[in-house]
Structure formats: structure tokens, C-alpha cells
Structure 1
């Protein structure tokens, strides 16, 4: 898990349960994307909540989730 802390003490990360974030203080969680099925049984990762593109389509949901995480780590997380 990458935890980015800026000079004002605010932290950002891609949420998972590796670190119990509530122990660090007040947290604000917001959606980074919408991983959704599309017609034909395929999946997309719509990154609109963070002003990103639609990724996919993918044949499996796990592929869409992996692409979502990679995109967030590259384009959203370091931008602070």
C-alpha cells in the first residue's frame, strides 16, 4: 500500500485494508472509479470520479480492477 503524505500532513492512498487508516486520524473516503459490467459479459473501469478515462473492456472483472489500480497509482496518487 502506498501512503502519500503532503507537507500539510494530509495523506492519500488507494484504500485497502492493509493499514487500519482510522488509527491515523479522521479519514475521508471517496470513490476513484466505477467498475461495471457492460453488455456481452465484459467489464469496464470508468475513472470519471477522478477525471480519468474509461478503461477496457475486459473479459474479467479482476482485470478491470487491476487496470483501475494501475491507473490510479500512475495518474491519481502521485498528483496530490
Structure 2
């Protein structure tokens, strides 16, 4: 789990239950995507204000694509 700490102390991350994020302060959680199957049983990652990724045969593949896209496009760059 990567935590990005801004100069004002704000933290940005992809939500996970690996850490108790509430212990770090008040939370503001926003949905970034939806993972859903289609009528053919293929899985799609539908990014909010972004692309629709897929189709994938397995849900786990859609989840991995979702995390990769969000990490690259929505999180601050690693320095």
C-alpha cells in the first residue's frame, strides 16, 4: 500500500484495509471505479471520469487493471 503525503499533510492512497486509515485522521473516501461483469460473463473496470477497461475473463484481472490505471493516472508520481 502506497501512501502519498502532500506538503500540507494530506494523504492520498488507493483504499485498502491493510492499514487503519482512520488512525491517520479524518477520511474523505471517493469511489474511483466499478468492477462489474457483463451479460457474457466478462469483467470490466469502469473508471469514474476515465476509461472502461476490459473485457477480462477473471474479476481479479479487472481489479489488477483498475489498480494499475489508478496508480498511474490518479496518484501523485513517485519521485
When normalised by structure 1's length, the TM-score is: 0.90
Residue in 1 aligned with 2:75?
77
Q: Which runs of 5 or more residues in structure 2 are unaligned?
A: none
| 1:43 counterpart = 2:73 | no
User: What is the deviation of 1:46?
Assistant: 0.4
User: What is the deviation of 1:25?
Assistant: 0.6
Residue in 1 aligned with 2:17?
17
Moved over 4 A (4+): none
Matched residue pairs, number? 77
Q: Distance in 2 between matches of 1:69 and 1:29?
A: 16
- Larger relative contact order (C-alpha < 8 A, sep ≥ 6)? 1
Q: Which runs of 5 or more residues in structure 1 are unaligned?
A: none
Residue in 2 aligned with 1:64?
62
